[in-house]
Structure 1
Amino acid sequence: MSPKSSTGGSTSPSKGGVGALMTPGRVTVAAIALLTLVFIFENTRSTKIRLLIPEVTVPLWMALLGTGLIGALCGAFFVSRRK
């Protein structure tokens, strides 16, 4: 018999359920999403930011998010150039 026609062993996919739904990756993403929402709702007051000449007023969470994204993009750029 060839291995493809063998009937021994379990080859059926795992049954769904709570174990398949709650993987460590999904729990981590859900926790990060929850912390992000808490961060946004706690930092809704507006703040003034001076960009060379213009002064803009934005919510604090948006200013921090923009700064974080710029930092992440700069980090990704330097990591990709290093390889």
Structure 2
Amino acid sequence: MSPREASSSGGSRRRGGGIRDWLTPARATVLVIALLAIIFIFENTRQVKIRLLIPEVTMPLYLALLAMFAVGVLCGGYLFRRRVR
């Protein structure tokens, strides 16, 4: 029996496994950091003045933080995406 046949017939690795296969320590750490960032964002609700190049906008701080969080997620996703060929 070849190694490929042995791993496909009775190997311990399964395709499409449960949450234990999906939730690696790195992913768990990222989820905890994201959750803490979201809690921090929604704890800061006071109005602030923000200058966007020319106009000055008054808005709740949590909206500005949430927008920057979204920009960070998009940039991180773009920079660290896996390229499938």
Normalising to structure 2: TM-score of the pair? Answer: 0.48
Q: Tell me which structure has the larger Cα radius of gyration.
A: 1
Normalising to structure 1: TM-score of the pair? Answer: 0.49
